[in-house]
Amino acid sequence: LLRVTNALNYTYIIRSNGVTVKDDHLLPGSVFDGYIPGFDLNVQPSRRKISANWDGFGLPASALSQAAVEGNQGYQAKDSNTADQTIAQEIMYYEVAVGTDRRFQKTRDNIVPFTNVGLNKSVTFYDLNLASGIAMYYFTVRAYSISYSIATVTSNGFHVGYDGGVEGGSIIMGDFINNDTYVDIQFEGFTSKLEIMMYYVGLSNNTGAEGTDCKL
């Protein structure tokens, strides 16, 4: 209610149309170490650059699914399938941190403090000096809903290995193929100091296509 009194001491009372209060906790999502959307890496190659991605915060179970690529279990969230999502579950922004121990609050962000990344669902931190070998590091994502509910999820951890990525090989394919129903693609010579987790193969008529999205 709002009570207003004017200079002549006339008083008016105005009422709002009402509000309902609901304790609606934000649904947690999943956090993955590494730059491949929906896949978790146990080792990241660089001591100076690390990445993470996440999804599923505020989404109902019907919008989540598991995916397997050549035996590697992955995770997908269908943002379009949000019919059961309440308005209070919509995400306002994310904060991301890196730490050395996910059990304690003060060690969840002792490497990189919590950083606001807006509505991005991935992040890469640069210019670090992490320890190779047995040292374990963790990403922690803190999601804020539009109703200011908070969900905090920490990754399962990762080690850092050698600086340097995969050395490119070659694609064995002719300039022309004799059918329009399938394409036989062979490749060889891709090497890495770390075990190669998977290969992505994409087909595009866009000469600028790159990365692992392959939507073109």
Chunked into runs of 10 residues, the chain (216 residues) has average pLDDT values of 94 90 82 90 90 91 67 66 72 97 94 96 95 90 92 94 75 87 90 78 75 59
3-state SS, residue 48: coil
The values of phi and psi at residue 89, to 5°, are -90, 0
Measured distance CA(29)–CA(151) in Å, rounded: 8
Q: What is the CATH number of the domain that holds 149?
A: 2.60.40.10
Let me know if residue 112 belongs to a domain: yes
DSSP symbols for 154-214: E---BEE--S--PBP-EEE--S--S-SS----EEE--B-SSPP--------S-TT--SS--
126: left (phi over 0), alpha (psi -120 to 50) or beta: beta
Let me know if residue 185 belongs to a domain: no
Measured distance CA(61)–CA(67) in Å, rounded: 15
The residue range of the domain holding 117 is: 30-160
Is pTM, for the whole model, over 0.75? no
Query: What is the helix (H) or strand (E) element at residue 54, kind and residue range?
Result: strand 50-55
What is the predicted pLDDT for the residue at 57?
92
Let me know if residue 145 belongs to a domain: yes
Burial, 157: exposed, middle or buried (Cβ in 10 Å; 0-12, 13-18, 19+)?
A: middle
Let me know if residue 57 belongs to a domain: yes
3-state SS, residue 62: helix
What is the predicted pLDDT for the residue at 74?
73
What is the predicted pLDDT for the residue at 112?
97
